[in-house]
Structures are given as structure tokens and as C-alpha cells.
Amino acid sequence: MESPFKADVLKGKVALVTGGGSGIGFEICTQFGKHGASIAIMGRRRSVLDSAVDALTAIGIPAVGFEGDVRRQEDCKRVVESTFQHYGKIDILVNNAAGNFLASAEDLSPNGFKTVLDIDSVGTFTMCHEVLKYLKKGAPGRSPSDSGGAILSISATLHLTASWYQIHVSAAKAAVDATTRNLALEWGTDYDIRVNGIAPGPIGDTVGMSKLAPDEMTSKARDYMPLYKLGEKWDIAMAALYLTSDAGKFVNGTTLIVDGGLWLSRPRHLPKDQVRELSRVVEKRSRTTLVGAPKPSSKL
Ligand SMILES: NC(=O)c1ccc[n+]([C@@H]2O[C@H](COP(=O)([O-])OP(=O)(O)OC[C@H]3O[C@@H](n4cnc5c(N)ncnc54)[C@H](OP(=O)(O)O)[C@@H]3O)[C@@H](O)[C@H]2O)c1
């Protein structure tokens, strides 16, 4: 699908995307690149980074891949420094790397819980911490007339209510959203950096979705979706363009839910025609029933 944004909305910007070698992260890299940005990708597997960089450069997008694990502060620091050395500045950080699997709370080990928090929550904060000095207004490589940079953290909708077998990711993404709001307050005020998030619903054709909803589950999940389909990686990338470009220049501290309204959906207890019939009956009954102050009792 064609982008509704002008092709230069991120012209000259440098974006560092964790987990940008696959899935949603790769689509964000592709769309950022198509809209003028140069891309640095961080991930653990060299082969994934290489194929992503090859695919981006093949369509004319400047791209480089740096190996690193967001759980290790020294890796985060090295990747941020390498990105700065390579491009001479950093404008946008996208925290997209995450780990996930299905596990009931009673079967999940504390170590499994901690691992997901280490990647999603602590990894997000560590990357923000390391990149701060390059995103501040007036930071090295930024022109004095530029605003501060932007941070975008990819969250989820699981923790907005509660989700079966996702206690670890729910807890981790709740912390990501809290980090988004707190950094928006502190770094928006002090350094002119905008910090926002995106909470995707189930997105088709992703590793995340295939782990959480294998094919045999998907058709049932779709029954509950107001827009009756899975989202596309493109939907998340367009929201990312909005939030990181000047289109979103007054947006700070929000996590934009991009899920077709799924998180609001509830099972429908009664079909619509039954509701109409039922409310007619109830209305009629209420009109024929006397209401008002109770009659004085003869005993009083
Ligand atoms: N897919 C969905 O339906 C969905 C729904 C809601 C939210 N989300 C969120 O959207 C984001 C992307 O999801 P996806 O399904 O596109 O995932 P994905 O394809 O599995 O991508 C995850 C990426 O993160 C990298 N990564 C994982 N652990 C890392 C670590 N410790 N350090 C550095 N990089 C790491 C992986 O590369 P390496 O393994 O090579 O490191 C991979 O490239 C995640 O934050 C996810 O929670 C997805």
C-alpha cells in the first residue's frame, strides 16, 4: 500500500532500530528509509542483520547493522557509539526488540519472567539511557536550530486489561509504557526530546504473532476483532512515521494503540435483534409498574 506521507518527512534523519532485522522492526526501517532516513539496526544474529541491510541497500536506503543484545549495557553503549560514528548523529531511537512465548503463570519460572523484563523493559531503558546524549537539543551532530530527537518504544495491548499466558510480557510492556510517560515528562521538559510508544494489536506475518497465535487459533481470534482482520506491519510503520516525524511534533508521552479497536472488544452476550425485543418488553413492563414513593403502610 502507498504511504500517505510525503517521501521526505524523515529526510536527513538517522534512526537506530533495535530488533530492526525482522518483522515489525524491519518494516519500520523500510518505511523510515523510504521517507528519507538512514538506518542502523541492532540485533543479536549477524545473518538476520546482514539480510536486512542487504534488502534495504538494494532499494537505495543507507543502512548498517550492529550486533548486540539489549540486555547488556556495554552492547547498548557500543551500538549507540557505532551508529554515531557511522552517521555523525542520531535523531530517532526505536525500541522494538522483544522476547515472547506463551506460558501459564504457574508454569513460568521467575527466570523466564525476568528474561522478558530484561529484554523489553530494562533493554528499552538502557538504550534510552545510552542514546540520551545524542538526542538532546544541541547534541553533537545536531544543528542548533533542530529540536531534540525522538524515542519510540513498541509496546503491546496485553497489559491494558489482562491476557492469558502472557503475565511476563504484560508486566514488561506495562513498564515500557511507564518509561515512555516518565521520559516524556523529564526529557521533554529538560531536553526537548519527544518520547512516545505504539501498542500494536495482533499483526499478521510476524514471528510474534505466529508464536502467540498459531494458525489453528487465528480464525477464532478474528471473530472478536471489530475490523475483523489482523493488522499489517505497514499499519505500525505508518503510526511510527506519524509519531517520529513533524506530523507528531506536539505529541509527547502517548502510547498510540494500533489494533483496530480489539482491546475494547467483549463477547456479545445478545444478538442485536434480541436486544431490541428485550428492551421493548422491559420498557413496557416499567410503564405498567407503579413507581414512586411506597404507599403508606396501614401498620404505620
Ligand atoms: N507481532 C505482533 O503481533 C505484535 C503484537 C504486539 C506487540 N508486538 C511488539 O512488536 C515488536 C516486534 O515484534 P515482532 O513480532 O515483529 O518480533 P520479531 O520479528 O520476533 O522481532 C524481534 C526482533 O528483536 C530482536 N531481538 C530479540 N531479542 C533481542 C535482544 N535481547 N537484543 C537485541 N535484539 C533482540 C530479534 O533479533 P535477534 O533474535 O537476532 O536478536 C528480532 O529481530 C515487539 O516489541 C513486540 O513485543 C508485536
For residue 70, the ligand 1 atom closest to its alpha carbon is 32
**Over residues 203-216, mean pLDDT:** 77
Answer whether residue 244 is part of any domain. Answer: yes
Split into its structural domains, the chain has a count of 1
Report the distance separating Cα 134 and Cα 43, nearest Å.
20
- In tens, the pLDDT along 80-129 reads 999 999 999 999 999 999 999 999 999 999 999 999 999 999 999 999 99
Any atom of ligand 1 within 6 Å of the Cβ of 211: no
Residue 151 confidence (pLDDT): 99
For residue 118, the ligand 1 atom closest to its alpha carbon is 31
**Over residues 243-261, mean pLDDT:** 97
Report the distance separating Cα 128 and Cα 153, nearest Å.
10
User: Model confidence at 153, in pLDDT bands (50, 70, 90)?
Assistant: very high
User: Model confidence at 297, in pLDDT bands (50, 70, 90)?
Assistant: low
Print the domain residue range for 74: 14-266
Q: How far is the CA of 17 from the centre of ligand 1 (A)?
A: 11
Q: Which residues pair with 153 in a beta bridge?
A: 95, 197
Residue 276 confidence (pLDDT): 92
Q: How far is the CA of 223 from the centre of ligand 1 (A)?
A: 26
**226 versus 253: which is more confidently predicted?**
253
Answer whether residue 68 is part of any domain. Answer: yes
Answer whether residue 148 is part of any domain. Answer: yes
Any atom of ligand 1 within 6 Å of the Cβ of 117: no
Answer whether residue 226 is part of any domain. Answer: yes
User: Model confidence at 216, in pLDDT bands (50, 70, 90)?
Assistant: low
Answer whether residue 160 is part of any domain. Answer: yes
Q: Which residues pair with 200 in a beta bridge?
A: 258
Answer whether residue 120 is part of any domain. Answer: yes
Answer whether residue 296 is part of any domain. Answer: no
Counting every residue written for the chain, the total comes to: 300
Residue 214 confidence (pLDDT): 66
Answer whether residue 9 is part of any domain. Answer: no
Q: Which residues pair with 187 in a beta bridge?
A: none
Instruction: Report pTM.
Output: 0.93
Q: Kindly report the CATH number assigned to the domain that includes residue 254.
A: 3.40.50.720
User: Model confidence at 295, in pLDDT bands (50, 70, 90)?
Assistant: low
